[in-house]
Amino acid sequence: MLTNKHIAVIGGDARQLEVIKKLVELDARVSMVGFNQLEHGVIGANKCSLSEIVPQTIDAVIFPVHGMNIEGVIDSVFSNEKIKITKEFVNSTKETCLFFTGISNSYMEDLCNSNNRKLIKLMDRDDVAIYNSIPTAEGTILMVIQHTDTTIHGSKVAVLGPGRVGITVARSFAALGAKVKVGARKSEDIARIFEMGLEPFYMKNIQSEIQDVDICINTIPAMVLDADVISKMLPQSLIIDLASKPGGTNFRYAEKRGVKAMLAPGLPGIVAPKTAGKILAKVIVEILTKDK
* Interacting residues toward ligand NAP by CB under 6 A: 129, 132, 136, 161-166, 185-186, 203, 219-222, 242-244, 264-268
| Element (DSSP H or E) covering residue 127 | helix 126-147
What residue number has its CB nearest to ligand NAP? 163
Nearer to ligand NAP, 203 or 287 (CB): 203
d(CA 251, CA 227): 9
Which C-beta is closer to ligand NAP: that of 103 or that of 176?
103
Least distance between ligand NAP and beta carbon 122 (Å): 12
Closest listed residue to residue 241, CA positions, set 259, 58, 128, 89: 259
Residue 70's nearest CA partner among 29, 105, 18 is: 105
For residue 160, the surrounding DSSP H or E stretch is strand 156-160
Cis amide bond preceding 246, omega within 30: yes
Considering the complex, what minimum distance in angstroms separates the CB of residue 121 from ligand NAP?
Answer: 12
Task: Identify which of residues 93 and 104 has a Cβ nearer to ligand NAP in the complex.
Answer: 104
Radius of gyration of the chain (CA): 22
As measured in angstroms, the least distance from the Cβ of 265 to ligand NAP is: 5
Q: In angstroms, what is the minimal distance from the CB of 155 to ligand NAP?
A: 20
Among residues 90 and 239, whose Cβ is nearest to ligand NAP?
Answer: 239
The DSSP code sequence of 62-118 is E--TT---TTSEEEETTEEEEEEPPHHHHHTS-TT-EEEESS--HHHHHHHHHTT-E
Contact 166, 219 (CB under 8 A): yes
The DSSP secondary-structure symbol of 2 reads -
Nearer to ligand NAP, 93 or 136 (CB): 136
Q: Are 277 and 13 in contact (CB under 8 A)?
A: no
Report in angstroms how near the CB of residue 49 gets to ligand NAP at its nearest.
32
Least distance in angstroms from the C-beta of 244 to ligand NAP = 3
| Nearest approach, Cβ of residue 83 and ligand NAP (Å) | 25
Nearer to ligand NAP, 38 or 276 (CB): 276
Q: Which is nearer to ligand NAP, 11 or 161 (CB)?
A: 161
